[in-house]
Amino acid sequence: MELWFTEKQTEHFGITARIIRTLHTEQTPFQKLDMVETAEFGNMLILDGMVMTTQKDEFVYHEMVAHVPLFTHPHPENVLVVGGGDGGVIREVLKHPSVKKATLVEIDGKVIECSKKYLPEIAGQLDDPRVEVKVDDGFMHIAKSENEYDVIMVDSTEPVGPAVNLFTKGFYAGIAKALKEDGIFVAQTDNPWFKADLIRTVYRDVKEIFPVTRLYTANIPTYPSGLWTFTLGSKKYDPLAVSDDRFHDIETNYYTKELHKACFVLPKFVADLTK
């Protein structure tokens, strides 16, 4: 018998992956959590039926969330990751020697626990002494923070279930308040093929709050359409104005200093969402 997991990424379209075994399955207080071993992408974390990350392609998302803002900020010391319980963004953040503290605020402790067990290459850095892990509501954490962070990354699930508040204008205003006066934030903002309206709305909301607002993309094969967007809001620094001497060597498999700027050059139908 062959087992296949199918994610309906839209009502009428999806991906399907052969499953070798189910490693863990549970209903947490926040969502359905499944960890499966796939034949093509290695271990795969699934929340509410949606692929969150896989061992084979996780590097794309985690590198692109972390390094674009961190190489834009001249000296990031205090970094916050909202969501991101698998630990992948934290792993990339710690590659920047200027970072003194990285805080992870994940609402669902079970995601952290399960990632440590089944995705150790991704979650392994969560025990680093520079990292503080808080199992807490990211929206509330942001609401309580003021003038505190150099860079904030919002590594959320889709805007259904526990992450719905993380796509509101009130949340972006809270992020602006939580950032220092030259702070930067980035949020994953889904794909332009099936969620064009979401990207348009978030971009418009962020632009009303942040002087520098930019959209960039990366290719993630297990995410809907394979083309993922990230919306960056910055109080001062422009990612397109970073000088070449800012980049220092870090080990990556997707991000490069050339891609740091090229990833902002959008296909026309995507660029149109920002107009």
Judged by CB under 8 A, the chain residues 24 through 43 that form the site for a second copy are: 38-41
Q: Which stretch binds a second copy (CB under 8 A): 159-167, 176-184, 235-243, 263-271?
A: 263-271
Q: Does 51 bind a second copy (CB under 8 A)?
A: no
| Positions marked active-site | 155
- Residue keyed to tokens 């205090």: 78
The identity of residue 58, as a single letter, is E
Q: Tell me the closest approach of the beta carbon of residue 271 to a second copy, in angstroms.
A: 7
Binding mask 158-187 for a second copy (x = CB under 8 A): ------------------------------
**How near is the Cβ of 273 to a second copy at its closest, in Å?**
12
What is the H or E stretch that residue 115 is in?
helix 109-118
Task: Tell me the number of residues near a second copy by CB under 8 A.
Answer: 41
Q: Which of 265, 261, 208, 248 is nearest to 74 (CA)?
A: 248
Q: Does 254 bind a second copy (CB under 8 A)?
A: yes
Min CB(80)–a second copy separation in Å? 27
- The Cα 269–Cα 25 span in angstroms is 39
Near a second copy in 209-248, by CB under 8 A:
217-221, 224-227
Q: What DSSP assignment string belongs to 207-254?
A: HHH-SEEEEEEEE-TTSGGGEEEEEEEESS--GGG--GGG------SS
Q: Which of 22, 25, 98, 253 binds a second copy (CB under 8 A)?
A: 253
129 Cβ contact partners less than 8 Å away, ≥ 6 residues apart: none
* 269 lines the binding site for a second copy (CB under 8 A): yes
| 275 touches a second copy by CB under 8 A | no
The binding site for spermidine comprises 62, 86, 155-158
Query: Is position 267 an interface residue for a second copy (rule: CB under 8 A)?
Result: yes
**Rounded least distance, CB 45 to a second copy, Å:** 16
> Under DSSP, is residue 161 helix (H, G, I), strand (E, B) or coil?
helix
Please, are residues 7 and 15 in contact by the beta-carbon 8 Å criterion? yes
128 part of the interface to a second copy, by CB under 8 A: no
Q: How far apart are CA 187 and CA 152, in angstroms?
A: 9
Tell which positions 1-20 bind a second copy, by CB under 8 A: 6, 10-18
**Structure tokens that stand for 64 in this block:** 């692109």
